[in-house]
Amino acid sequence: MPSPYDCSSNLYSIDLTLLLHFQPKMDSKSKSPMTKNDKLHIVMFPWLAFGHMIPFLELSKLIAQKGHRVTFVSTPQNIDRLPKLPPNLSPRLTLVKIPLPHVEKLPENAEATVDLPYDKIKYLKMAYDQLEQPITQLLHNASPDWVIYDFASYWVGPAAAKLGISSAYFSIFIATSLCFFGPSKVLMGMRGDSRTKPEDFTVQPKWVPFESTVAFRLFEINRIFDDVTGDDENIPATYRLGAAIDGCDVVAVRSSYEFEPEWLQLLPKINQKPVIPVGLLPPMPPDHDSVDDTKEWRTIKEWLDKQPKRSVVYVAFGSEAKPSQDELTEIALGLEQTGFPFFWALRKKQGLADTEAVELPDGFEERTKGRGIVCTSWAPQLEILSHDSVGGFFTHSGWSSVVEAIQFEKPLILLSFLADTGLIARVLEEKKMGYVVPRDDRDGSFTSDSVADSVRLVMVEEGGKIYRDKVREAKGLFVDRDTQDKYVNGLLDYFKTHSQEHKA
């Protein structure tokens, strides 16, 4: 019999079929009620996007550090691409590989959103939905105390309830976004006040009782409206989100009362469901001398070391957003106009199935040679942001990127693309923690001049001092380890107390 341990990726992992073979079946209802000091077993099952998997993994590590057992489940290719785990956690944090079923129109070897153009992600969701039976079987055999799942796997909550297992929906979206999206019954189309056209998402919803600028701009919602409404091949993202909230015992949110107190207080009222913030989950600062001492990082670091302190613009728009050709051209020409050194992590294609690669303007790389680097392969974002020469972050407003930037006091220039990044941009605007590049509200177009002006403002100009100051002020609440520890303890205390409701 082959070994159940796969060490090829330097990650402690177990193949699902072998896990099911070796795990004794157990009637979850026969377990004794928990005492306060019992250690928990928690299964984590994120959506197949690295913007989801990484926060799930960070939370898993914090839980495992406290002595609890965590089973983190994803597909083989994604498990192999996760960051290396600290060796001391391997006895308590197990990575389980579960094969992704094949579906028609899903390109071969595509197991995450990073492998696909936007229009093919719906087929990844279809394959993901076919994991319902094997995940249910895993829960039955492993009999954890809790399962923590993502919006896309809305079917986990009801499956866990049938097995007497407590469940939590973990939102990597901030509470503001969840409140804006609305009550679970509205999202599931079970109430008459559902939003049916893009314009409905550009105004403050009636269930938000205080004044706020948080709403999509028309171009932002138009870019994702097909996912909001769904089609014959696609269960709407809004339905998945609503059903994920509706089917869980508690909602956990990657947020804190220090950052968005009014929204965290509103969220449980909207959904009539307990809500627990788990903190902002800032990653541990990189260890440049060991884990990240790769050839790629050494080359990047040598270039960064030569640049003046806080002079470099770091440009990256996440793993899923790909600017259009027109947008790419304006971004490039705007960076050129600034005269600043820049490091640009550019994705020209979204996986092998993407047939529409974008290209830099003619002569751009020659004209900026020496002061600018365009990296079209892997770029270590955390290491780059932590470098003293980086003075600003030109970003898509993804929540993980925002947390990492503030962790290292890098002011934010914002250009939203997909998902809830437009809503996050509104929040950061309200708090003067980021400056949004001016754009046309209807089609999202912008100019190289607006890019250059925005970068200069945030990086060096007196008018942008407030953005630099606010990010420095925010660092304390974003990366305070004692505060983060308090939130994780609060989640675990809730889990210990309320798992009895199912296990007794």
Digit-by-digit pLDDT tens for the chain (504 residues) are 333 223 333 333 444 443 443 333 334 444 444 444 579 999 999 999 999 999 999 999 999 999 999 999 999 999 999 988 888 898 999 999 999 999 998 988 899 998 888 888 889 999 999 999 999 999 999 999 999 999 999 999 999 999 999 999 999 999 999 999 999 998 888 766 677 788 889 999 999 999 999 999 998 998 888 777 666 677 888 899 999 999 999 999 999 999 999 999 999 999 999 999 999 998 877 665 544 457 778 888 888 999 999 999 999 997 777 788 899 999 999 999 999 999 999 877 666 665 677 888 889 988 989 899 898 877 889 899 999 999 999 999 999 999 999 999 999 999 998 878 899 999 999 999 999 999 998 899 999 999 999 999 999 999 999 999 999 999 888 888 899 999 999 999 999 998 755 554
Token pair in block for residue 374 = 């365009």
Token pair in block for residue 192 = 């008459």
The pLDDT of residue 29: 41
Which own/partner contact pairs does 161-165 have at CB distance under 8 Å and 24+ positions apart? 161/247, 161/502, 163/28, 163/136, 163/139, 164/28, 164/29, 164/502, 164/503, 165/28, 165/139, 165/502
- Rounded to 5°, the CA angle 110-115-451 comes to 170
The pLDDT of residue 355: 63
| Rounded-to-integer distance, Cα 46 and Cα 113, Å | 12
| Rounded-to-integer distance, Cα 160 and Cα 145, Å | 10
Backbone angles phi, psi at 340, to 5 degrees: -80, 150
Backbone angles phi, psi at 143, to 5 degrees: 45, 60
Backbone angles phi, psi at 8, to 5 degrees: -65, -25
Q: Checking DSSP bridges between strand 372-375 and strand 390-395, what pairing results, if any?
A: unpaired
The pLDDT of residue 27: 41
| Rounded-to-integer distance, Cα 118 and Cα 110, Å | 13
Half-sphere exposure of residue 430: CA atoms within 13 angstroms, side-chain side:
14
The reported pTM is: 0.87
